Structure 1
Amino acid sequence: MDFGLFPPEVNSTRMYSGPGSGPMLAAASAWGQLAHELTSAASAYGAVITGLTTAGWQGPSSTLMAGAVAPYVAWMHSTAAQAELTSVQATTAASAYQTAFAMTVPPPLIEANRAQLQSLVASNFFGQNSPAIAATEAQYDAMWAQDAAAMYGYAASSATASRLAPFTDPPRTTDPAGTAAQTAAAANAAAAAAPAAVTPVDVLTNTTATTSAIASTTSASFSGSSIGVTNHALAVNALRDEAQGIGPFLAVWGAPAASSGPVSIGGPAISAAMGRASLVGTLSVPQTWAATATPPVSVTGLGLSGASAAPAAPAGMAPGMFGEALLGTLAGRGVSNVAARLRPTSVIPRSPAAG
C-alpha cells in the first residue's frame, strides 16, 4: 500500500483509531508463557523416559517405547522454541507500532493546521496573509510526509515480525491401525463369548429329543427288568422241578414231604467235634448239618400251574447250602433209579423147547 498517497488526516486517524499495542503485547506474553511450559514439559518428559529406560525398565520393549517417544520430545522442544520466537516477533511488532504511533502526527494538530489555513485565506484581502498561508501549507506538507514515513516504517517492521514458520503437528507415537485391530479383536471376543440366540423352535426340538431319550431309556430299563424277572422265574422253577425229581429218593429215607414253600439258602454256624459224625445213608456228615446257626435266606420260586411241591429234606440233613449240594449229588442217582423203576417192562415168553 502506498501510504504517501493518503493525506495526514487518513494516516493519523488509522494509527490513532486502533486498540494500540496492548493486544500485541498480551499475545507476546502468552506465546512466551507457552514456550516456557513446553520447554518444562519436554525436559520433564525426557527425564522420566530416560530414568525409566535406564533404571526401572530395561529390554526390547523399553527400547521401542523410548524410540517412539523420542520424536515427540524433540517436537515439544522445537515447538517451544518456535513459540518463543513467536513471542519475540509479537513483541517486535508491538514495538514497531509504538514507534509508528510516536511518529504519527496527532489528528488534533492536523485539524488545527487546517483551521488556521482557512482563517488566513479568509482574511487575506490584500495579500498580507500570503507568507503565513505558505508557512501553514508547508507545515501541513511536513505532517503529510511524517505520517507517510511512519506508516512505511510500521508496514516494513510488521512484515518482518509477521514472517513466522508454520507450526507442525506432533508425530504419531502409536500404530494408527492398532485401534482398529483392537476394536475388531474385542468385537470377535464378544461375539464368541455371547450365547447363541434360542428360538421357540429350538426349545421345542430340544424338549422333544430329551423326552424321546428318557422314554427310550425307561423302555429299555423295563425290558431289561422283565427279562431278568423271567430268567429268575425260569431258574427257580427248574430248581423246583429237580427237587420234585428226587422226591421218591427222599421218600426211601422216610422223610415227610413238605408243602410248597421257600427254598432255604444259607449255612450253619461254624463248629468242630471229633468222633461224633452223623450218618446220612452210608455217608458220614458233621453233626452241625442238622441245625443252622442263623435263619437261611429264602428264595420263593414263581408258581407254575400243574406243578407239585418239592419234597422236604430228610431228617438229619442240613438244610443249608452244603446239604442242598449233597442232595444235588444224590439227586441224579435217585431220579435215575426212580425213572428206571417207572420204565415199562416187557415180558418175553420162554419157549419150552429152549429148556
Structure 2
Amino acid sequence: MSFLVLPPEINSMLMYAGAGSAPMLAAATAWDGLAAELGAAAQSFSSITSGLAGEAWRGTASTAMLSTAARYTGVLSAAATQAQSAAAQAQTIASAFESAVVATVHPALVSANRNELVQLVVSNLFGQNAPAIAAAESDYEQMWARDVVAMVDYHGGVAAAAAQLSSWSAAVQGLPAQASGATSANPVGTVMSSLNSAASGPGLGTLEHYAIAAINGPTEFLFGRPLISAGPAVGLGGAVNGGTATAPLTLYGGAEPLVNASVGGGAPVPLLVDTGSTGLVIPFQNAGGLLGTLQLGLPTGFGIGGYSGGINYLYATYNAPVNFGGGLVTSRTPVDIELFAWPASISAAMNHGLTFQSYFAPDGASGVLGVGPNAGGPGPSIATQALPAPYNSGLLINETGQHPYLQFGPPPTNLNPIATFAGSPIATLEIGTGPLGAIFPQYSVNAVIDSGGVSGTIPTGLNAVPGELISVFAPNGALLYSYIYDGTYFPTPSPYIMNTGALPFLAHPVYVSYSPSGVGTTTFYQ
C-alpha cells in the first residue's frame, strides 16, 4: 500500500522505528574505505607492471601482459570510482532520511491526539465538546498531510540519489567483454606460438595460467566456477566419530599440508594448513564468486595484507561458515576474502606471477588456513575456533605415516608427548651444530614453528657450512629434529627469526592448543 493513503500512526511509526540512518552511514563509511583501498591497489599494480615491462621483461609476452594488466588496472580504477559514488549516494540517502524524520510527526504526538479525541467523544454527552473535537480532527488531518509531505520528499530524494548511482550489475555484465577484449587485442595463441621454441622454459606454465585464467575469468568472477577445470573436483573428507573429528591431509611436494574445505557457498578447495599465520584467507572466486560473496551479507571491514613480501592483496572480511565435510562445519566466523592482488616487487612478479592464485599455485593451495595463535595475522582469528565444542580447543597436525590427517579438539590421548612449551608458532628453541651440538646445544633462538614454511630458514649467526649436522631441541632438551645442512634439508640463511619449515612436522605429530588466547601452546609427540 502507498504511504500516501497510510494514516500518520503508520507513517510516523515506520519512520521512527528501526535502526535509523546508522546502517546507511556505516555503509557509506565502508564504501568510502573500499574506494580508497581500490584506488591504492590500482596505483600500486600499475606501478609494478609498468616497471616490470619497462625494465625486466620485454617482447611479445611482455606486450600481452602489459595490455591485459592495463585493462585490469582500468577495472580497479573503475571499481574505485563506483565505490566512491556509492559512498556519496549512501551519505545522501542517510541525510534524506534524517531530514524526513525531523519533518515527520512524532508517534507520541499522534497517539496523544487520538487519545484526546477518544476522551472528548466519550464525554460529549450534550455536544459541548464539538468545537474541541473538530480542532482535534483538524490537527490530525494536518499531521496526516505533514507525514505525507515528508514521505514524498524522502522518496524523491532517495530516488534521485539511486538514479545517480550506476549499476554494479552493468559492471559485472561487462567483465566477459573485458576479458574477451584482453585476449583478442593480444591473443594468447599468438604469444604461445611465439614461445614454441621455449616450450620447456619456466615461463610457459605462467602463460598457460594466464590463458586459462582469461577464459575462466567471467564464470569464476560471478559464480566461483571455472569453464576449464585444472583437474578433478576436490572433495571434502572430514568426519566426526563420537568425540573425535578428523580431516585427511595431502602433503603437496612431500612437505606442504593441504586440507580440503569450502567457504560460504564456494566449492571445496585445498587450503594450506599454516601454523605460521593466523586466519583464513581465500580469493573471492573460491568463496562462490561475486554472487556467493554477496550472499554472505555486508563485509565487516577492509584492509591490505601480504605474504612473505611476495604478494600484497586487498581483502574484505566477511563472516562465513567453513565446511570440512562429514558434518564438521564452523559457525559463521571472520574470513578474509581476497578481492585484488598485486606483486610486492618486480622480482616477486617474475617468480610468482601477478595474482593471489599464481602465488600459491606452487604450493598446490587455493588459500591459507592459518592456525597459529600468536602469529599475529594476516587474518583476524583462527577459523577452526568456530567449530562446535570440543573440536574448537586445538588442532593436531599429524604428517607422519602413510595417511596424514588433522584432528580437531583436545590433545590426543593415544600419543606420548616429548615436549610442551608456550607459544605457537613463535617460541624459543635450542640449536646445536656439529657432533657436539647433537648433545649440547650452543644457541637459543626465537623461531616460527611453521608447518607451511617448506624448507624454512637457518640463522646466519650460526655460520653453518654445507654438510654440517644441525640439531634442534625443545627448551626441555628433547630433540625435535636434525638434518645435514644443504644435504638432507635446505633452509635459507637469514638474519631474522628462524623458520623451522616442514621438517619438525614430518618427524613428529604436533598439537597446537589455542589456549592461552593469543599465545597458544605447542606439544610434540612421538
Could you state the TM-score of these two structures normalised by the residue count of structure 1? Answer: 0.48
Larger Rg over CA atoms: 1
Larger RCO (CA under 8 A, 6+ residues apart) = 1
The structure in which a higher percent of residues are helix is 1
Could you state the TM-score of these two structures normalised by the residue count of structure 2? Answer: 0.33
